[in-house]
Chains A and B, each alone.
Chain A
């Protein structure tokens, strides 16, 4: 058996582009994990999906016009955020259906322009599926800026956000400007999506946002723990995905998402094992909930005081 050379593991870091890509993806993973908690708890995972597709149209328009794709993506993304926010508040048509149409139309515009101008290049492929080679210094600074803005927003708006998500009516009665909070959150989500496009790709971004959050949700019932856990999971998933993509020579976005799906599978397994551990019976009544084992055959119920 040929011994494994340890220098192989640090080999990717010899390249500047890879180190930059790792830093960007770790920041993207963290910020997606952080914001994913609010997306998941809002019950609107499709918003991340829709938003990421919507900005693609703007990015392609910019690219064809010879501008930085950030210009078109930003304008398109912020407009989509406002539109999605308005649609979500409408009662007549279910928000997921309306958002599905509106945002996919944005994506379709991008595909339409590519097909008519025949300008499908590696840059466009990077936007769709993510590519570590497509990450520049500009991307790095943009994601640093977006991470700071997002973290500051979450920190200062945490109480308003959690109250609005949990009990919107009561939040209004208690003076929370829920419309402003929701619109601000949509705008923050748009900036995260735009900043993450290059490293993960618009088609895969939704999974990167949702996977850490739902994994964390299965592990904990505490909101604060969920936020921390989801952010950490996002960082780990993004690091492993980007790092592996070097060795697999695969699209970075796809690799990151596969790690995210694995994390979700692992969390499901953990939740299942915990349920088995907590399952017990009193007479013929079997049930599962948290309890403390005091000794071999006694335990104290935590549910019923």
Chain B
């Protein structure tokens, strides 16, 4: 299988020359598994002191501060209810945090959404805590266009988003090509149909992911296997030519082979220079094999390369797993998972 290396990212990579260490909490010592990836370590995404919840006075995530450099492949790790998916949605701009800010290249995110803004809870929380107000933002026409402070030009950050497949209505009568075409709805003309250059782009990305065929493109999404569904949603994200890809539990409910295919595909994209954040609770299958993981349970427990982060102590804090031995490395449940 030929893996996808996005050409728009390879072109950008040629212009990248800065590489410096960033401050990381916990056990980061600067050496990690992704040393073969020549990414720019200038913080691309800055999360500052993010606090958010769905009900007032009951925050799901608290004081999350994190920096992600361009080109990094990051796994958000934690149990159900730890706030992974919520953080993913905050990064995607779907929720506006009560406190704190999301910055891309040091610009604050202009939150495009209103009704899941939880404005009342946010204001209440912000007033009571008298913390930083996060209302100031650049008013731009597109939700992912930000003024870069590093230059006078506006850099458009194009985001690719792959939701949890459990949230999708699989009975919806759309075909594979129609789903992928949604990714470039704003670039495919006013006609209701995806045609011309847009159709070529759709075909190309399906081809790159190894799923292009006349018959496959016409299939209804319900007729696809779990792995094919994930690839179609990945194709919908990639057809936008994103500079940043976020995925919410892309391997939940898929078999071993499919998980391996998805992970290989994402690794290949990451090596092509794409910045990727993936939420997962799959410790042995996914998290251990990523170059960088962030353990979170309401707040960030630890971050760094998995070999250094996935220790019994951190897993205990993240999952509440009970160790059987005091050395924390051998017989405990956490120890088994960490191995």
Which residues of A are interface residues toward B (Cβ below 8 A)?
Answer: 41, 43, 89, 154-156, 158-160, 162-163, 165-167, 169-179, 217, 220-224, 226, 289, 302-303, 305
**Interface membership of chain B positions 14-56, coded 1 if the CB is closer than 8 angstroms to chain A and 0 otherwise:** 0000000000000000000000000000000000000000000
* Contact between chains at B215 and A302 (CB < 8 Å): yes
B1 CB–A CB distance under 8 Å: no
A171 → chain B closest CB, angstroms: 8
B188 CB–A CB distance under 8 Å: yes
* Contact between chains at A172 and B112 (CB < 8 Å): yes
Contacts of B296 in A (CB 8 A): none
* Contact between chains at A173 and B161 (CB < 8 Å): yes
Known: A41-B173, A221-B173. A174 touches B240 (CB 8 A): yes
* Contact between chains at A173 and B92 (CB < 8 Å): yes
* Contact between chains at B93 and A172 (CB < 8 Å): yes
Residue from A159, A171, A302, A305 with most neighbouring chain B CB atoms (10 Å):
A159
Q: In the complex the two chains form, what is the Cα distance from A179 to B94 in whole Å?
A: 13
* Contact between chains at A169 and B94 (CB < 8 Å): yes
The binding surface of chain B is classed by DSSP as loop
Closest 7 CB pairs of A and B: A158-B192, A159-B185, A173-B161, A221-B220, A89-B115, A163-B182, A223-B173
Contacts of B167 in A (CB 8 A): 167, 169
**Nearest opposing residue in chain A for B189, CB measure:** A159
* Contact between chains at B94 and A172 (CB < 8 Å): yes
Q: In the complex the two chains form, what is the Cα distance from A173 to B240 in whole Å?
A: 12
Sample (23) of A-B pairs whose CB atoms are under 8 Å apart: A41-B173, A156-B190, A160-B185, A163-B182, A165-B172, A166-B168, A166-B169, A166-B179, A166-B182, A170-B182, A171-B182, A173-B92, A173-B93, A173-B159, A174-B161, A174-B185, A175-B112, A223-B172, A223-B175, A224-B178, A224-B192, A226-B173, A303-B223
**Interface membership of chain B positions 173-186, coded 1 if the CB is closer than 8 angstroms to chain A and 0 otherwise:** 11100110111011
Q: In the complex the two chains form, what is the Cα distance from A2 to B265 in whole Å?
A: 76
Contacts of A179 in B (CB 8 A): 113-115
Interface hits, B187-225 → A, CB 8 Å: 188, 190, 192-193, 213, 215-216, 219-220, 222-223
* Contact between chains at B172 and A166 (CB < 8 Å): yes
* Contact between chains at B192 and A159 (CB < 8 Å): yes
The binding surface of chain A is classed by DSSP as helix
B143 CB–A CB distance under 8 Å: yes
* Contact between chains at B161 and A170 (CB < 8 Å): yes
Q: In the complex the two chains form, what is the Cα distance from A165 to B112 in whole Å?
A: 18
B319 CB–A CB distance under 8 Å: no
Interface hits, B213-248 → A, CB 8 Å: 213, 215-216, 219-220, 222-223, 236, 240
**Nearest opposing residue in chain B for A156, CB measure:** B190
Known: A167-B168, A174-B182, A174-B183. A224 touches B163 (CB 8 A): no
**Interface membership of chain B positions 99-138, coded 1 if the CB is closer than 8 angstroms to chain A and 0 otherwise:** 0000000000000111100000000000000000000000
Contacts of B175 in A (CB 8 A): 222-223
Given pairs A223-B172, A289-B223, 5 additional interface contacts (CB within 8 A): A41-B173, A166-B182, A174-B183, A175-B112, A220-B173
**Number of A-B residue pairs having CB atoms within 8 Å of each other in the complex:** 95
Contacts of A221 in B (CB 8 A): 173, 220, 222
A160 → chain B closest CB, angstroms: 7
B339 CB–A CB distance under 8 Å: no
Contacts of A217 in B (CB 8 A): 173
* Contact between chains at B193 and A224 (CB < 8 Å): yes
Residue of A174, A220, A305 near B216 (CB, 8 A) is A305
B282 → chain A closest CB, angstroms: 22
Contacts of B185 in A (CB 8 A): 159-160, 163, 174, 176
* Contact between chains at B220 and A222 (CB < 8 Å): yes
Q: In the complex the two chains form, what is the Cα distance from A220 to B218 in whole Å?
A: 12
Known: A172-B113, A222-B175. A305 touches B93 (CB 8 A): no
B261 CB–A CB distance under 8 Å: no
B193 → chain A closest CB, angstroms: 7
* Contact between chains at B178 and A175 (CB < 8 Å): no
Contacts of A165 in B (CB 8 A): 172
Q: In the complex the two chains form, what is the Cα distance from A175 to B112 in whole Å?
A: 8
A41 → chain B closest CB, angstroms: 6
Known: A155-B192, A159-B192, A167-B168. A175 touches B94 (CB 8 A): no
Residue of B173, B183, B223 near A222 (CB, 8 A) is B173
Q: In the complex the two chains form, what is the Cα distance from A166 to B113 in whole Å?
A: 17
* Contact between chains at A305 and B178 (CB < 8 Å): no
Contacts of B113 in A (CB 8 A): 172, 178-179
Q: In the complex the two chains form, what is the Cα distance from A176 to B187 in whole Å?
A: 12
* Contact between chains at A175 and B143 (CB < 8 Å): yes
Residue from A170, A220, A222, A303 with most neighbouring chain B CB atoms (10 Å):
A170
Residue of A43, A158, A169, A178 near B163 (CB, 8 A) is A169
Q: In the complex the two chains form, what is the Cα distance from A163 to B222 in whole Å?
A: 16
A90 → chain B closest CB, angstroms: 9
